[in-house]
Structures are given as C-alpha cells and as structure tokens.
C-alpha cells in the first residue's frame, strides 16, 4: 500500500508491532526491573497428593540473601482463588467449589501446587533457599484420570467434593432424543478421548509486584490476557484491596492461548507479599514450572451417538462426557466443558434433537481451563468424528453426508441454545475441496499404495461460537462477570489518534488491525493511529482477549466510540461551515455540506475542538475524546471446512500430514495477512494435538511424565505442511464490522480433520478407532492389533 | 544452577591434573552437562573446560583410519570434506544431531564420554569398531560403552580422539523421538573392507549395543530383505512414553533394512 493511504480495510498492512518484536525492543514483564527489586521462587509440591504434616522454613529464612519466606499459614485473611463461572447441576444444585488456597494449606493436590514463596536478593538465592524449606509430607494415594476419579473408592481430592464430583450438568431435550433414537434407521457410535494438552506460550508466565507505601497503592506487571479481570478478581475476591489502589499492567505478552487469562496463585501471593517485604518482587516461571503450573487444556472422555434415517439425515445426537477439572477450579474451568462445549454440538447441521450430559471431576492434576478453542475443539471433535463415522457407516462420501445435513436457512435456532445469525457452509466446503484437490485424491492414494503407504483424507466442518458474549445470556448461564468490551478514542489537536482498548494483544496484531479500522473510519493515515492496551491505569475497564472476541467485541466498542467522534465532529463542522448539522456528510476524512464543495477536514475539526476560538461553547464541550462500551447481542459464528490429507508408513506408524486445506468464514476481514497468520498458528496447534501432543501422568504416583519438551512434543515447522487457506464471507449480522473472529478456528477444525484422515487411511488395514495423538507407536500398535 | 568453579585448561595434561585435583568434570560442548546443571540434576564443584586445547582438535587420516579430535563439533564434522569423502555416514550422522545450535556447540568426544542411551555417536563408534583414544591409552569400541551414562573411562581420563576404520560401506538411520528428536532407535550398519558386518543400535536400551542376529544375517546377504527377515527380541529393550520394547525391536529391523537399502 502507498504511504498515507486511508482506506485500508481488507488490506495486508504490515504489523506495526513487529518492528519492536523483531529488533528485541519489546517490553515484556521480565524486562521490567524496578529499583531495589527482589526475586521470588515458588516451592512446589513434588507429590500429587499429600497431607502437609509440618513446614519449617527457619533454615530457608536464614539462608544467604533471603528477604522473606511465606507459607499458607502466613496468608491470614487471604481468600482462595475464585472461579468465575457458576454451573448449576442437573440436580438444581450449584457446583462444588472447594477452596483453592493461594499457597497450600493442609494438603497439596497436584505436582506443582505452590507451597511456599521465597523472596531473596537474587533468583538463585531464592531457589537455593527453597531447598531448605523442610516440608513433612504424608503421601496420599492419587488419582489422575477423570473416569477413575468418579469411581467408588477413588482417592478424595477435596472433602468438599464427595466422589470428586464438581457437577453433573446437562443440556437439551432428553426425551426427544430418546424418541428419535428409537425410530432411527441407523446409529453411529464412538468412544472418544480428547487428550490433555499443555499450553506452552513462548513467554512463560511472569510477574513484577510493587507496593508504594506513600500512596498505599500496588502495581502489578503480569503476563496476562485481561488485566482488568485479573485486578477485579484479585482485589475483590482474594486480597480485599481497594480496586483503585491496584494498577495491573500486562505489557508485551508472548502468547497466551488462554493460559494467561486466569488469576493465578503466584502473582496474587506476590502482590500480597510486596507490601510485607516493602520492596518490589519479581518472578518469571521456568519452563519446567510452566508445565506443572499453567492451566492445561481439554482432557475429556466421551461416548457419543448419532441417530440417522435411512438416507443419512441426522435425527438426534446423544453425548456423555466426563471432563477433568484438575485439582482446583481454575478461573473459567467450569464453563469450558459445558457452556462452550455442549452448545456447539449442533455443528453445521440440522440435527433436531441433541442431549448432552457432562460430569466434571476433580483429580490430582494441574487445573484444566480454556486453551485455544476452549470447549469448541472438543465439541467439533465429537461432531466431526461422528459425522465421519456416519459417512462410513452409511456408505456416503464425506462431502455428501455433510451436504445432506447442512443448515441453509438463517437465523437458525439450534436445539442446544444458540441462534446462528448467518453462515454459508456449502461455499466453504466447496472451496476447501477445491483447495485440497479432492478430485485428484484417488490417484494420489493409488500412487502411495504402490510405495506401500496408506493415504487418507479427512474433513471437519466446524462451527464455533465467538465474540464472547452477550452479558445477559452469559449471566443467565452462570457467568460471574460481564463480557462487554470498552474502547476510548482520543483525537489529538493535530488530528492523530490514540485508541485505548480493553482488548489485549499477545500476538494477535491488534495494534495494526484496530488502527486499520480507525484509519478507515476517520479517513486518516494508519500511521496516525496508535493503539494502547493492557494497562488498567490507562485504558477503560475492559474484559480482555480470549474466545476470538477482540475484533467482534473490542473492535465494535472502538467503532461505537468512533461514531460518537464523528457525530461530534459533524456538530463542530456544521458550526464552522454555518450549515445545519443534518446537512453535514462525513466521508474520506472530510466533513462536507451535502451537495456543495464546502468542507472541513477531520484535522481542521480536531484542531477546532481543542482551540475553540470559533466554537459553539454554549452548546458543545470542547475536546474530541469519546469512550464506548459494547455488549454484543449475540455470539458470532465463524465456520468452515478443513480437509487434511495424510500418508502413513505402516511399517513404522509415522503419519505425515501431506496437505492441509482450510476454507473459513470469519465474516468481514480487516487484515488478511494477520488472519492467515492466525489460521496457520491455529492449524499448527490443532495438528499438534492430533499428531504429537500428549500430556501423560503416571496413574499411580500422579507424577507428570511428559514434564518437559524432551517428552512433550510440540509441533515444529517440519511437522506441518504448507497450508492452503481460503476464506468465504457471510458478514456477521449484528456488529457493525461484520466480523466474527479468527483466532481459534485452526485449532478447532484441525484435530478432527486430521484424525478423520488418519482413520480414512487406516480403514484399509482394518483399524477402527485410534485416540489422539496419532503417534508412530500408537499407529503401529493399532495396525498390528487390526492385522492380528 | 548451583555455583561452580570454571577452569579453562591449556593442555590435556593440565586438564587431567585439574580433574584429579578437584574431582571435577570435564566440559566439552556442554550440550548435555550444562542443561543438566541448569535443571540442578548435575552439581559439579569444578568444570574443566577443554574447548581451548589445540591437541583435541582436527580431522586427519592415519593409515586406514579417519581420526577425529575429541572437541570437534558436530557441525564441523558434518561439513568436513575429509569426512564426507571417507566415511559419509559419519557426516550424515553428525548433521542429524539435535538442532543447529546443538551441532555448533556439541562435540564428538563429549557425546561419546556422556554415553547417553539415545545419542547418535556411540552407534557410529560401535558400528565401525572405532578406537577411543585417551590421555591414558586406547579403548576398543566393544566394551567401551558400559551402560546408561557409563563408559570405560576413568575419572581423570580424557578422550583425545576417535579413530574410525574406513569401511567399505556404512549408513546410519535414525528414527526420531517425536518430542526430543533424540534417537528413539538409531541403527548404524557397516560393512568393513574385509566384508565383516557390524550393526550397532542406539536409543533402544540403556546403552548402545551390537545386534548379533542382524550382523549374522547381513554377513550372509547384505540386503534389506535379509535384515527384514530377522526377528529382533524385545527382551532388555527400553519402554517409555514413546515406544514399547516391542516397537523398538520392530524398528531395529526396519531401520537396519533401510540403512542397507540406502547403500544399494
């Protein structure tokens, strides 16, 4: 694009933030070094489940450089960490919410559970001293599987949650589903494990907490996705501090994928301790610590059934899921396998009756919470694996089974609470099939067979509910927070603009996308717009970034503020041009008297607002600075079809992803380059789940066996193919940008597409069912078992 | 990492004296030891840095052997024209170790002294019947690798070079652990100038070992089919998150066949 171009919607504008990231001049939490700061180290439980008989910190306190040592007993008056979503069970009772102490009290419940905070002059001194904290543990039997945890006689994680049950919850019309199954011509069934994942953002969690005695105020720098939510939960629920005396800054943040949404024990303990110590405290997690302290993702065990008529039309779906909550309820843990999961089980299909029952269990594992997609990848996996199986069972091609059941009339009310506003599922399927060259697949498969290799093709036609969320609907479903977003547009006297958004960018490129929205709306160059985020001291109260909500909700809040700016600008221009306000038109950065060539530029109007010498001061305040809060009226529904092609070496079990095509409908697109980058990253994560990533705990000891990158396989560049991506657009009907969100789609569609491809390939050798990840060992075993 | 003393040795004699004096550990490329120290799994009081010792460097032909200095880095060996021309399997093996950073720092001597059960170099040493030369003498490959992280080296014994007999043919095929990318199983197959066949397997057991059934079969017929026909016993092989002993046994045969196939 040329310099100073203003109409930049839909243009691949280079990311404004990249200059600092590529030159190493970003400011991450660990780059913050306040004067006189100390260093924190958290002593963590080495056991999955143990009673703390005694803690003696005296040797640690006397160690070189140690400033203070705190244990659970020291945190008097500090409440437990809260859960932000109340799920009410099928029995009408609220979920079990056992206490989640900031530092362990009485018991430890997972490997990595924080037991003591050591503050010292250097990180090494803190770590050395932590080895001198004597903890007398009485080791208890542990349970790590959510299925085992619910069995009678399983070790009890919390006294407050008998049988380790958090809740049993259901959605949908069970009677209608039972009736439909009774008259079905065919039922397809599957048992599915959605494997537990460890997030691993490139920047580990970090925090720097300070206390200013003169102001009686706290400042917390923290690698976090939603600083206002962090502050609200920490001050109001845990520490009982006045909210206005705590400033939370989430500066540059190196990825989150959900794992940095939550209020964690570490930063909470540090804020509390900063006042006791009287000096700033700094902490950055080591990677090994991240593995045992960042909230994990997924971990569902599901039985699902799909009833069809003789032509393969879906009549009903029945789903039973057991979800692992881990040892404690993380901030949004309870809503992930319920509100963000069961509501998506209609997928892109007209299935008239759906019933889903979910039981959530506590185990001696790291808490589980939202991870890129959060409930929706799990739902898509259930639906699309079932649809694949249905196609196989009904002897219909994978596109035909889908086409027979696609929703084509909008708005569409699903039987699981959501109302899809718009969509175009055939268009995405058609384009994905073209990108994937489905027509040439048979020849490629035959050629691979000559080399002794098995080729398979897998489809996933996913849908997600994004743009979280209408606060009233969320509230009715148990949310303990609003889900609006805030934006402030501050026009400077010379006409440049600073935008303050409640959204938070930790890799998404908001500084560019949002600037494009503002530049295009105001008719000013994109270079004249800066975006500020991640600081409760600067931006209005916002809800942050997760659930692919930032453009649809945060962007819309900015648009609402821009509307106010333009409305006021029109008044100012009317005064300057001595015309009626209703005659003023605003386009291309100019306020014009309709039907004339008399106009004032946006810059002239901005200057007048701040130098109000010729200004209707009796009717209008000076200045050009507007704030808006936007609460969406519905979710947005990004959808698309992903098609994966794999080639399997039956001799070794190695699965190679040879091609991956994705056609997504994200609504209107502001920056196609950024969207494509989001899709690539999401697909890599989705392929990672399906092919490589496997969080494994030892069933007896509860030790995390996949506790480092030596054993936990993240996808590398050579594990994924060069993606073929396309988009189709049905604009969202209920936000002014027509945007739906794109951040999670890749991770939602890819696992199902990939595993369907693996099953397609392995059908040739008789393999019926294989769980993720499709590791060489697992594939080889499945082939061997099928041949035996 | 715990605090430690670092001594930069000027010569092998200096390094040996310092090791004897302090009970410390030699530091070559540090790609295993420093990582273990960062995780506090290793706690040496003294490190004796070998990287500045000129006599541990270089690659040269000595009679019928290719001799590689102990602190030659994987990347240097992978790129060395002498290695590529004489025993290309060694260059291939070196170029497939770890990632670029590891290859630019890690050394052949360090890898052999460490005897990681999933390391690549031990397979080449054993597969070619190399000689491990130290400041105290010479070790034949057979018998050098005693077990997991255990070799025949004495406490102040320092590897100075490795002498590889030049084979008629040799190939190394590695099946990577999907997470660590170390050898889940690696098989080094060599046919010596006199036709004798050696097959060394890494990644599959506590230490690298020779696979007698494969050697016997390939001595009769040096073909992929001959390797495939051998049934490998899973007894004594390692099982973990990534592979059962049975899978490792199966892979040994598959990789040996592929190594042989690559030589035809």
Distance CA A549, CA A557 (A): 11
Task: Give burial (CB, 10 Å; 0-12/13-18/19+) of A191.
Answer: exposed
Which stretch of DSSP H or E encloses residue A448?
helix A441-450
Nearest chain A residue (CA) to B252:
A652
Asked whether the predicted pLDDT for residue A4 surpasses 90, the reply is: no
Give per-residue pLDDT as tens, A471-527.
999 999 999 999 999 999 999 999 999 999 999 999 999 999 999 999 999 999 999
Nearest chain B residue (CA) to A692:
B178
Say which of B178, B182, B247 has its CB closest to residue A780: B247
Listed by number, the residues of chain A in 669-698 with a beta carbon closer than 8 Å to a beta carbon of chain B are: 692, 694, 696
Close Cβ partners of A758 (under 8 Å, ≥ 6 residues apart): A456, A458, A646, A648, A655, A690, A770, A774, A779
d(CA B20, nearest CA chain A) in Å: 28
Topology agreement, domain B55-165 and domain B169-261: no
Distance CA A639, CA A745 (A): 8
Q: Where are the domains of chain B?
A: 5-49, 55-165, 169-261
Question: Does the N-terminal peptide bond of residue A469 adopt cis geometry, omega within 30 degrees of 0?
Answer: yes
DSSP summary character for residue A54:
E
Is A775 in CB contact (< 8 Å) with chain B?
yes
A780 vs B250: CB contact, 8 Å cut-off?
yes
Q: What is the pLDDT of residue A215?
A: 97
Distance CA A659, CA A723 (A): 7
Say which of A128, A692, A780 has its CB closest to residue B178: A692
The Cβ-side half-sphere exposure at B54, using a 13 Å CA radius, reads 0
Give per-residue pLDDT as tens, B33-63.
999 999 999 999 999 999 999 999 999 999 9
The pLDDT of A449-455, averaged and rounded, is 98
Give per-residue pLDDT as tens, B207-263.
999 999 999 999 999 999 999 999 999 999 999 999 999 999 999 999 999 999 999
Q: What is the pLDDT of residue A1?
A: 42
What class is the A18-25+484-630 domain? Answer: alpha beta
Q: Which of A102, A105, A367, A82 is nearest to A236 (CA)?
A: A82
Interface test with A, best of B4, B241, B245, B256 (most A CBs within 10 A): B241
Which stretch of DSSP H or E encloses residue B225?
helix B224-228
How far from each other are the two terminal CA atoms of chain B, in whole angstroms?
A: 49
CATH 3.30.365.10, domain A300-469+634-787, yes or no: yes
Asked whether the predicted pLDDT for residue A407 surpasses 90, the reply is: yes
Distance CA A266, CA A274 (A): 12
Q: Where are the domains of chain A?
A: 18-25+484-630, 32-140+202-255+260-293, 300-469+634-787
* CATH number listed for the domain at residues B169-261: 3.30.390.50
* Strand positions, DSSP E, B25-85: 25-27, 46-49, 59-62, 65-69
A653 contacts on B by Cβ (under 8 Å): 247
Q: Which of A428, A427, A410 is nearest to A418 (CA)?
A: A410
Report the topology of domain B55-165. Answer: 3.30.465
d(CA A266, nearest CA chain B) in Å: 21
Three-state SS across A558-605? HHHHHHHHHHHHHHHHHHHHCCCHHHEEEECCEEEECCCCCEEEHHHH
CATH 3.40.50.150, domain A32-140+202-255+260-293, yes or no: no
Percent of chain B with pLDDT over 70: 100
- Give the pLDDT band (50/70/90) at residue A465: very high
Say which of B1, B3, B254 has its CB closest to residue A652: B254
Interface test with B, best of A655, A776, A788 (most B CBs within 10 A): A776
- Give the pLDDT band (50/70/90) at residue A6: confident
Give per-residue pLDDT as tens, A371-380.
999 999 999 9
* CATH number listed for the domain at residues B5-49: 3.30.43.10
Say which of B179, B241, B242 has its CB closest to residue A709: B179
Contact, B175 vs B255, CB < 8 A?
Answer: yes
Three-state DSSP class for residue A782: helix
Give per-residue pLDDT as tens, A56-90.
999 999 999 999 999 999 998 999 999 999 999 99
Interface test with A, best of B40, B178, B241 (most A CBs within 10 A): B178
Interface test with B, best of A129, A200, A651 (most B CBs within 10 A): A651
d(CA B193, nearest CA chain A) in Å: 31
Number of inter-chain CB pairs under 8 A, A vs B: 40
B237 contacts on A by Cβ (under 8 Å): none
Asked whether the predicted pLDDT for residue A690 surpasses 60, the reply is: yes
The pLDDT of A415-437, averaged and rounded, is 98
């Amino acid at each position: 694009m040329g310099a100073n171009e203003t109409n930049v919607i839909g243009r691949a504008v280079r990311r404004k933030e990249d200059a600092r990231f590529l030159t190493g001049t970003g400011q991450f939490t660990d780059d913050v070094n306040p004067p006189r700061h100390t260093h924190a180290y958290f002593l963590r439980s080495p056991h999955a489940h143990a009673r703390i008989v005694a803690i003696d910190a005296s040797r640690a306190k006397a160690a070189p450089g140690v400033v203070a040592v705190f244990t659970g007993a020291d945190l008097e008056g500090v409440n437990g960490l809260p859960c932000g979503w109340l799920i009410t069970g099928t029995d009408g009772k609220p979920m079990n919410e056992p206490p989640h102490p900031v530092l362990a009290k009485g018991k430890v419940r997972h490997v990595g559970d924080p037991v003591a905070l050591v503050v010292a002059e250097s990180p090494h001194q803190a770590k050395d001293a932590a080895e001198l904290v004597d903890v007398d543990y009485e080791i208890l039997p542990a349970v790590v599987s959510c299925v085992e945890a619910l069995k009678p006689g399983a070790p009890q994680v919390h006294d407050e949650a008998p049988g380790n049950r958090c809740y049993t919850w259901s959605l949908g019309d069970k009677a209608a589903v039972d009736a439909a199954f009774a008259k079905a011509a065919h039922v397809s069934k599957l048992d599915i494990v959605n494997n537990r994942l460890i997030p691993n953002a490139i920047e580990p969690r970090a925090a720097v907490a300070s206390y200013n005695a003169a102001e009686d105020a706290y400042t917390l720098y923290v690698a976090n996705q939603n600083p206002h939510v962090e502050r609200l939960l920490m001050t109001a629920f845990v520490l009982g501090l006045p909210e206005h005396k705590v400033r939370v800054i989430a500066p540059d943040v190196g990825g989150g994928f959900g794992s940095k949404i939550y209020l964690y024990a570490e930063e909470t303990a540090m804020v509390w301790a900063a006042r006791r110590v009287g000096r700033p405290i700094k902490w950055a997690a080591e990677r090994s610590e991240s593995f045992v302290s960042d909230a994990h993702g997924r971990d569902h065990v599901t039985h699902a059934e799909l009833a069809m008529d003789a032509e393969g039309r879906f009549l009903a779906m029945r789903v039973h899921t057991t979800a692992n909550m881990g040892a404690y309820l993380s901030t949004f843990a309870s809503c992930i396998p319920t509100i963000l999961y069961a509501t998506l089980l209609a997928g892109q299909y007209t299935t008239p009756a759906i019933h889903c029952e979910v039981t959530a269990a506590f185990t001696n594992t790291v808490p589980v919470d939202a991870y890129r997609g959060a409930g929706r990848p799990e739902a898509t996996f259930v639906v699309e694996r079932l649809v694949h199986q249905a196609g196989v069972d009904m002897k219909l091609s994978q596109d035909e089974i889908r086409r027979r059941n696609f929703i084509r009339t909008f708005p569409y009310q699903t039987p699981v609470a959501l109302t899809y506003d718009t969509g175009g599922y055939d268009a995405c399927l058609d384009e994905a099939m073209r990108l994937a060259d489905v027509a040439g697949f048979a020849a490629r498969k035959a050629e691979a067979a000559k080399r002794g290799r098995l080729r398979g093709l897998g489809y996933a036609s996913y849908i997600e509910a994004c743009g979280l969320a209408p606060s009233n609907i969320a509230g009715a479903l148990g949310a303990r927070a609003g889900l609006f977003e805030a934006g402030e547009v501050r026009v400077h006297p010379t006409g440049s603009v600073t935008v303050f958004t409640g959204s938070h960018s930790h890799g998404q490129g908001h500084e560019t996308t949002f600037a494009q929205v503002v530049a295009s709306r105001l008719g000013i160059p994109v270079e004249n717009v800066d975006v500020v985020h991640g600081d409760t001291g600067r931006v209005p109260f916002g809800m942050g970034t997760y659930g692919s909500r930032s453009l649809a909700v945060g962007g819309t809040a900015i648009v609402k503020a821009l509307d106010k700016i333009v409305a006021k600008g029109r008044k100012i221009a009317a005064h300057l041009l001595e015309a009626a306000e209703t005659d003023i038109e605003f386009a291309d950065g100019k306020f014009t008297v309709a039907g004339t060539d008399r106009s004032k530029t946006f810059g002239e109007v901005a200057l007048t607002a701040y130098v109000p010498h010729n200004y209707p001061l009796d009717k209008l305040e000076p200045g050009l600075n507007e704030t808006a809060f936007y609460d969406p009226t519905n979710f947005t529904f990004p959808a698309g079809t992903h098609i994966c092609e794999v080639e399997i070496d039956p001799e070794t079990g190695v699965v190679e992803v040879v091609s991956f095509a994705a056609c997504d409908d994200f609504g209107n697109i502001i920056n196609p380059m950024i969207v494509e980058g989001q899709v690539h990253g999401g697909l890599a994560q989705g392929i990672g789940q399906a092919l490589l990533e496997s969080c494994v705990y030892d069933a007896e000891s509860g030790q995390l066996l996949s506790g480092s990158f030596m054993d936990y396989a993240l996808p590398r560049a050579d594990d994924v193919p060069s993606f073929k991506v396309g988009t189709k657009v049905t604009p969202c009907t209920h936000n002014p940008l027509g945007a739906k969100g794109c951040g999670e789609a890749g991770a939602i569609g890819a696992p199902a597409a990939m595993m369907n491809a693996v099953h397609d390939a392995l059908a040739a050798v008789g393999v019926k069912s294989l769980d993720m990840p499709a590791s060489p060992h697992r594939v080889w075993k499945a082939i061997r078992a099928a041949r035996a | 990492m715990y605090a430690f003393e670092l001594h930069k040795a000027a010569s092998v004699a200096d390094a040996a004296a310092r090791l004897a004096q302090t009970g410390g550990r030699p530091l070559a490329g540090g790609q295993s030891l420093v990582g273990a120290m960062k995780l506090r799994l290793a706690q040496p009081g003294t490190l004796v840095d070998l990287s500045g010792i000129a006599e541990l460097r270089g690659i040269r032909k000595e009679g019928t052997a290719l001799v590689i200095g102990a602190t030659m880095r994987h990347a240097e060996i992978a790129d060395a024209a002498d290695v590529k021309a004489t025993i290309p399997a060694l260059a291939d093996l070196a170029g497939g170790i770890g990632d670029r950073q590891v290859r630019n720092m890690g050394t052949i001597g360090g890898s052999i002294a460490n005897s990681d059960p999933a390391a690549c170099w031990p397979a080449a040493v054993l597969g070619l019947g190399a000689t491990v030369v130290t400041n105290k003498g010479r070790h034949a490959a057979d018998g050098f690798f005693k077990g997991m992280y255990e070799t025949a080296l004495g406490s102040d014994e320092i590897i100075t070079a490795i002498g590889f007999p030049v084979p008629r043919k040799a190939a190394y095929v590695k099946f990577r652990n999907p997470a660590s990318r170390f050898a889940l199983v690696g098989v080094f197959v060599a046919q010596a100038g006199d036709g004798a066949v050696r097959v060394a397997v890494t990644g599959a057991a506590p230490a690298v070992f020779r696979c007698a059934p494969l050697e016997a079969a390939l001595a009769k017929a040096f073909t992929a089919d001959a390797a495939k026909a051998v049934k490998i016993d899973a007894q004594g092989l390692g099982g973990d998150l990534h592979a059962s002993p049975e899978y490792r046994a199966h892979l040994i045969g598959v990789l040996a066949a592929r190594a042989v196939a690559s030589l035809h």
